[in-house]
Amino acid sequence: MTAHRRLPSIAGYALPTEADLPASRADWALRADRTALLVHDMQAYFVDAFAPGVAPIEPAVAHIAALLEAARANDVPVFYTAQDGDQERRDRGLQADLWGPGMRHVPEHQPIIAPLAPAAGDIVLVKHRYSAFQRSNLERLMRARGRDQLVICGVYAHIGCALTAAEAFQLDIEPFMAADALADFSRSWHDAALAQAADCFAVVRSTRQIIEALT
């Protein structure tokens, strides 16, 4: 029987700088009238795995907050993903084999953290699988708003964030990874996620570069 994995306790590490970013194979130009912003899984259960008050999570949260401010100021639709607590095994699926039962339906686990709380008009999607597009209406909601680009930030870079970007690419939605508004299990995982994304399915940019394009 497969042993249940739990979330690791994540030590601090420095976020990548613009000088560290891999060259992206795609040359898509981000536009405020084409894009949406996705804040991925910034719930207390996932955020609390990080060493508090230090990089990567402290600056990543600040960068996500800056992206939210820029998106709302420039009429960019904002989406969030949030998992339900106390999922039944049939709903959690194979994720239970790797990560156990997941979060509980309690205030210590489920809410999106207060500094990044959704605002009126933002859309919170229930997260079912690694990709935010799985078993959700994210694609339909984007198409209805005339959006064919997606800026992705949040946790964890090499799992849900990268696989959401990969699925967006396969749906002909241009994904952009906000490199320093992501966090991961380690700097090596973080860098690997950015390298694969830049080479295979996304444009990798800094928060500053994304905000500059949106404004």
Catalytic residue set? 41
Q: What distances in angstroms separate CA 128 from CA 19, 80, 164, one per listed residue?
A: 35, 13, 12
* CA 85/CA 61 separation, integer angstroms: 22
Angle between the N-to-C axes of helices 207-214 and 57-73, in degrees from 0 to 180, rounded to the nearest 10: 0
Contact predicate 56/14, CB 8 Å: yes
Q: Are 50 and 58 in contact (CB under 8 A)?
A: no
Contact 184, 56 (CB under 8 A): yes
